[in-house]
Amino acid sequence: MHIVIVGASSIVLSLGKAFISAGHEVCVVDNDVNRCEEIEEILGSITVTGNPIDHLVLDKAGASRADILICATNRDDINLVTGRLARYHFGIVKIISLVRDPELYNIFSQAGFDAVIDVTELLSLSFQQAVSSSAMFNYMPVSGLAGRRLIEFKIPTRSSVAGKTIGELVLPEGSMVILIISRYGTVSIPSNQTEIVSGDELLAIVTPEGENILDELLSKLDA
């Protein structure tokens, strides 16, 4: 996949490392030339220096062929405008944004963002070890998306879904898997052809009604 990340923060550095290690192509956009050079040196990925709300800058970053755009600057207004530009000018299918001001969650949602994530909650979210038999062991609200939540599941040994692809899962209505963290620590953005492996951690956006359904689905063991 080609992933465009706007902003060159420490969060972006961590995301970039994870995506590159998983085999994805990453381009980081930022208006700080020194920060872009630093990102290039650390990640070995392509960077584009410029204002992300300029469509020529996004075009140079490969937005026309991007599968995902992640808006992660330290300014909510820039993230909002960039996401709208990416969706309506370049037709990027999946757009995710970090948001700092909780009063803006609904605005981002109404603007068509696929996921709106609170920066503070994201930073505090730890991938803790499962302490029960349930595959579901952590979640945080995905604000502004009709009450949906970001849920973390761990696929247990002998899970009935291990070996299946994401496309073969019968997910509850309004749910989607957005990230997979393998048992080796690599992060990937799944497609319908991505295979699920025991020990993987899945991050999914679900409705409150779909939580128990998805938990039961992923927790079910082979006989």
> Which fold does the domain 2-119 belong to in CATH?
Rossmann fold (3.40.50)
Q: Residue 114: its pLDDT value, please?
A: 79
Are both 2-119 and 136-219 of the same fold? no
Q: How many CB atoms lie within 10 A of CB 120?
A: 13
**Mean pLDDT in runs of 10 for the chain (223 residues)?**
88 78 87 91 90 92 92 88 88 86 78 75 40 41 55 81 88 76 68 86 77 80 62
Pick the CATH number of 136-219 from 1.10.101.10, 3.30.70.1450, 3.10.129.10, 3.30.750.210: 3.30.70.1450
Report the predicted TM-score, pTM, of the whole model to 2 decimal places.
0.59
Burial of 132 (0-12, 13-18, 19+ CB in 10 A): exposed
User: How far apart (Å, rounded) are the C-alpha atoms in residues 220 and 223?
Assistant: 9
User: How far apart (Å, rounded) are the C-alpha atoms in residues 100 and 115?
Assistant: 14
